[in-house]
């Protein structure tokens, strides 16, 4: 294999790849190459608490369209109760945070975060010409492109921009704790690591994954996922092009060595207690990786189920119980370990729900909804402008958006990640003042 067939020594040193704990099934050429270029033990570049250039962003997606009105409840507004005779949260049950708003009764964790000055609420977030389709709206949020001109993710473009030049980004700089990396994290050059369970990132030559060609195409256009990790050991036909062989081998080595670091971090012991739900489990994995000082800059997790067209009260209560408990446990864990100072958490959903309840005791797809930003360096309280519940100020029966979501992205990118906003969002957006001086 010539010198261009494998990653360069500079790239591998930059990425901090080692073969610690490599399985016996790792192809010999990978093991020889990695051992030859691995840095000395302890020499890998790691994130360090308090270093501004290595701040961490954790994104929590509330998939399905969260009902913002029953999450941040406008209990002082009689129109809220007029629109929702069955679904409205009783004034006496709301966890009040000021004279206008309160959290859903099960969100005691968020109430504590708010009282501790760690939580900001961004009101009325949406985008121009809103679309009620899950797929279309999610594409808009992921690409940060309401006009559909961008086809890469806003986080992927952040990494493309931040990691340009001779040395490529470490694959672990972006991690999605889910089966497949979301579009938001996919750039032109950069692709993150994605997994649901760290132990699934393993090399097992005996595992046969059907559709190997699909997995190879996925690696060219997407992130390394559990299926890709498992299928890379399969032999390749002689007729396949050599450039594809070289590409797969380079990707295979990056993927295998990234997996070793991730698995080692995920096995770290912690005394922190988390609720027993999938979102909490994903955030606990993220917390362990942060404790291990992985070089990851952005983590992405998701909680589904918010498409509450019918029987909303009990289902939404269950979802918000899991959501609030998981995020509060995550924040407490990071605070106890001394890492919260360098972590910001941002939540979003693709849209809110209709203002009025439907005949099935649920709510249909809407438009504007609140976002949450959490951390030690945020400006706590409410940001943006409240949506009106007046009948003549609704848009198609929905809350009319008042805050463009790109203003939130712009604030996070500029004031927390130190990024070039126009290079990522395509224009210099008027960002919100979500952060104190950091």
Of 31 and 130, more confident: 130
In the chain, pLDDT over 90 holds for what percent of residues? 62
Most confident region among 2-6, 85-89, 234-238, 261-265 by mean pLDDT: 85-89
Asked if residues 63 and 303 have their Cβ atoms less than 8 Å apart, the reply is yes
What is the pLDDT, as a whole number, of residue 249? Answer: 55
Contacts of 372 (CB under 8 A, 6+ apart): 110, 119, 120, 121, 122, 345, 346, 347
- 52, pLDDT greater than 80: no
- 149, pLDDT greater than 60: yes
What is the pLDDT, as a whole number, of residue 196? Answer: 87
Least confident of 45-49, 296-300, 411-415: 45-49
Q: Are strands 343-348 and 102-103 parallel, antiparallel or unpaired?
A: unpaired
- 358, pLDDT greater than 90: yes
The average confidence (pLDDT) of the chain is 81
Q: In this structure, is the dihedral angle defined by the CA atoms of residues 390, 391, 395 and 398, taken in order, positive or negative?
A: positive
What is the pLDDT, as a whole number, of residue 218? Answer: 44
Strands (E) in 248-396, as ranges, are: 298-303, 343-348, 369-374, 381-383
- Residues in a beta bridge with 373: 120, 346
Q: Considering only CA atoms, which of 233, 306, 320, 231 is closest in space to residue 275?
A: 320
Of 222 and 142, more confident: 142
What is the pLDDT, as a whole number, of residue 64? Answer: 98
Question: How far is the C-alpha of 337 from the C-alpha of 333, rounded, in Å?
Answer: 6
Contacts of 96 (CB under 8 A, 6+ apart): 75, 102
Q: Considering only CA atoms, which of 185, 56, 71, 182 is closest in space to residue 122?
A: 71
Each residue of 159-175: pLDDT tens digit? Answer: 999 886 545 677 789 99
Q: DSSP characters for 379-413?
A: --EEES-PPP--GGG-BTTBPPP-EEHHHHHHHII
Q: How large is the angle between the packed helices 242-266 and 28-37, nearest 10 degrees?
A: 70
* DSSP 8-class letter at 415: I
Structure tokens at 410: 């712009």
Q: Could you report how far apart the first and last alpha carbons of the chain are, in Å?
A: 48
Asked if residues 405 and 141 have their Cβ atoms less than 8 Å apart, the reply is yes
Asked if residues 249 and 241 have their Cβ atoms less than 8 Å apart, the reply is no
Q: Considering only CA atoms, which of 54, 58, 119, 50 is closest in space to residue 376?
A: 119
Contacts of 375 (CB under 8 A, 6+ apart): 118, 340, 343, 344, 345
Structure tokens at 117: 């000055």
- 6, pLDDT greater than 90: no
Of 176 and 233, more confident: 176
Each residue of 240-262: pLDDT tens digit? Answer: 444 555 555 555 555 566 677 78
In the chain, pLDDT over 70 holds for what percent of residues? 73
Q: Considering only CA atoms, which of 318, 333, 322 is closest in space to residue 284?
A: 333
* DSSP 8-class letter at 378: B
Question: How far is the C-alpha of 321 from the C-alpha of 323, rounded, in Å?
Answer: 6
Least confident of 37-51, 321-335, 336-350, 416-430: 37-51
How much is the average pLDDT of 414-429?
A: 92
Each residue of 334-349: pLDDT tens digit? Answer: 999 999 999 999 999 9
Q: Considering only CA atoms, which of 350, 323, 324, 384 is closest in space to residue 121?
A: 384
Question: How far is the C-alpha of 288 from the C-alpha of 270, rounded, in Å?
Answer: 8
- Long-range contacts formed by 288-291: CB under 8 A, 24+ apart: 289/175, 289/262, 289/265, 290/56, 290/334, 290/337, 290/339, 290/343, 291/265, 291/337, 291/339
Q: In this structure, is the dihedral angle defined by the CA atoms of residues 315, 317, 323 and 329, taken in order, positive or negative?
A: negative
Q: Which residue has the tokens 């942060």?
A: 290
């Amino acid at each position: 294999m010539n010198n261009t067939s494998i990653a360069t020594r500079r790239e591998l040193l930059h990425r901090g790849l080692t073969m610690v704990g490599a399985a016996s099934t790792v192809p010999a050429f990978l093991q020889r190459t990695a051992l030859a270029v691995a840095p000395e033990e302890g020499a890998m570049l790691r994130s360090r608490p308090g270093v501004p250039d290595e701040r961490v962003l954790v994104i929590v997606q509330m998939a399905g369209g969260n009902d913002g009105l029953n999450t941040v409840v406008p209990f002082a507004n009689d129109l809220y109760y007029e629109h929702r005779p069955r679904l409205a949260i009783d004034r006496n049950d709301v966890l009040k945070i000021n004279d206008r708003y309160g959290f859903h009764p099960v969100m005691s964790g968020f109430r504590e975060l708010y009282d501790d000055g760690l939580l900001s609420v961004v009101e009325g977030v949406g985008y121009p010409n809103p679309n009620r389709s899950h797929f279309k709206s999610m594409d808009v949020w992921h690409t940060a492109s309401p006009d559909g001109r961008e086809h890469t993710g806003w986080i992927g473009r952040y990494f493309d921009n931040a990691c340009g030049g001779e040395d490529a980004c470490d694959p672990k700089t972006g991690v999605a704790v889910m089966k497949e990396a979301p579009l938001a994290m996919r750039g032109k050059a950069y692709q993150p690591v994605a997994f649901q369970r760290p132990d699934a990132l393993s090399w097992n030559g005996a595992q046969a994954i059907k559709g190997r060609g699909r997995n190879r195409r996925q690696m060219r256009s997407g992130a390394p996922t559990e299926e890709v990790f498992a299928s890379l050991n399969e032999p390749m036909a002689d007729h396949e092009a050599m450039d594809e062989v070289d590409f797969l081998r380079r990707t295979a080595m990056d993927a295998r060595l990234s997996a070793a670091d991730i698995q080692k971090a995920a096995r770290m012991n912690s005394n922190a207690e988390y609720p027993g739900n999938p979102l909490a489990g994903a955030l606990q994995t993220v917390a362990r990786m942060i404790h291990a000082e992985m070089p990851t800059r952005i983590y992405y997790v998701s909680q589904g189920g918010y498409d509450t067209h019918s029987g909303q009260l009990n289902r939404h209560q269950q979802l918000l119980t899991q959501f609030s408990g998981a995020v509060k446990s995550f924040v407490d864990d990071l605070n106890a370990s001394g890492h919260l100072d360098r972590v910001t958490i941002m939540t979003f959903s693709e849209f809110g729900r209709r203002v009025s309840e439907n005949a099935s005791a649920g709510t249909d797809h809407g438009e504007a909804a609140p976002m949450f930003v959490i951390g030690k360096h945020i400006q706590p309280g409410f940001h943006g402008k409240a949506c009106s519940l007046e009948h003549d100020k609704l848009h198609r029966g929905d809350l009319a958006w008042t805050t463009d979501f790109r203003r939130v992205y712009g604030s996070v990118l500029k004031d927390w990640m130190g990024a070039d906003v126009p290079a990522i969002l395509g224009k210099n957006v008027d960002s919100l003042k979500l952060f104190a001086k950091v």
